[in-house]
Amino acid sequence: MSVWDPLTRNPFRLLGIPREQQPPLSLSSAVVLACPGLEPVELTETLLQTCLQQLQSERLPFYRATWFDSTRPLDQLAWLDICERRLNEAWRRWSSENHLLSQHNLAVLAHLRWMMEPTDHALWRGCANRWRDLATLTQDPGYFQVLADFRAWQKDQAFVLLGKGDAAQLRECWTVSVFLSSVEEIQAEQMHMLTAEFERWNLELAALRQGLLDGISVRDVTGRYELELMPLARFLQEATLDNLPLAAQFRRDLSLFYRALARAWWDLPEDAAKDYAQAWLEKAVELADEATRGEWRAELEHWRVSRYPSEVRAANISSLIPGDEARAPRRRLGAVLAALGLLAVLWAASHHRDPMAGLTRPAAQKRADEIVQEMSPLAERLSKMPPEIERAQGPQRQAMQDEQQRMQQRLAALKGELMRIQKWLDRH
């Protein structure tokens, strides 16, 4: 990608001097600074006169803001490092203190570093942050002009990236632009540049949602979305910034549509449709805001649990009895035990309070959210334990197996409680 370059054609650079020195008046005494990241330029008499005129123009504060200063002894040493292409050494010197001139020189050097590595987004952001901090700290018109020119270049770059369909770079461009201006300005810019895309998105999404309400097959609606609208959705999702209201509304609309698809697929009887429904609901949960994410996670977990309920099968006791001679006393013993078991059940039923009694819907929903939050790290930890247990030796391995068993029991208990709560919520 291209980089905004206020350094290569800076008149101080073309004259080969730091910004506080008097400019040379003849071609023989001027030497263009050769430096990594700056394109070579041949200084002619015409270019020399142009540089001298620029240093007398109203743009002088901008040129001073975008070039090195060597007023102090430390700056002179670092300037010599720049002239001899020891950029890291110059960076070390200016980073050793917090003086304003050092901060200025580091901003210029940071911009030079970004020009040398234009694909490094961290350097791009760091460069913008340094210029903004200097403008805020000094209120110098030169730095504000730097921000204005940088911002103008960013706008042009955003149009170029939009034309290329490069969503990742466009997102980064707008991220850096927030440092140089304001959230409101960037939101307005996004709305202006993406007007056609959002108009198409809103119209086609509304048509798909209406199709679900009108009873159109969910397979047809899903196929149309995946073929026609999903590429646009991915582009808008990747290009827009998460912290802007525009992106928040887009993600909310998309999550609601994914949830509607999930429920439509869930109503179909096929097992494959249930899998598809869970996949769409997972996408909806990823995009949902904090206010609804917990509720949708509980719904997703309920779907998973309800599809594979626990089953208890009775053992074939007759195969364990050796013969007729042992069968009669064992039958009597079994009858006694069954009677005792029935009495125990009746006693427990008369003395045990229903845990769901007196439960309110908000409390039930809150408990379901707490269970889901506890289950997620448990399930993640259990998924990682088998290879760890395989690598462990001796007592450590046994301890990890015991821990795994306890976690499995806890997870099973949580799933059972969640299933009971979800059934209660369905009834109430």
Query: And the tokens for 383?
Result: 């998924």
N-to-C CA span, the chain: 58
Which pLDDT value is given to residue 314? 47
Whether the Cβ atoms of residue 116 and residue 38 lie closer than 8 Å to each other: no
What percent of the chain has pLDDT above 70? 82
Q: For the residues of 75-141, what is the DSSP string, one character each? A: HHHHHHHHHTT-HHHHHHHHHT---HHHHHHHHHHHHHHHHHSTT-HHHHHHHHHHHHHHHHHH--H
The SS3 call for residue 50 is helix
Evaluate the CA torsion angle 191, 194, 199, 202 in order and state its sign: negative
pLDDT digits (tens, 9 = 90+) for 53-109: 999 999 999 999 999 999 999 999 999 999 999 999 999 999 999 999 999 999 999
Predicted confidence at residue 83, as pLDDT, reads 93
pLDDT digits (tens, 9 = 90+) for 117-130: 999 999 999 999 99
Q: What is the mean pLDDT of residues 257-273?
A: 89
pLDDT at 302: 86
| Interatomic CA distance for residues 164 and 173, integer angstroms | 14
Structure tokens belonging to residue 238: 């990747």
Dump pLDDT digits (tens) for 312-356: 444 454 444 455 544 555 556 566 566 666 666 555 555 544 555
Taking CA atoms, 105 is separated from 32, 60, 64, 98, 218, in Å, by: 19, 17, 11, 11, 61
280 pLDDT above the threshold of 70: yes
Mean per-residue pLDDT over the chain, rounded: 84
Q: What is the DSSP letter of 326?
A: H
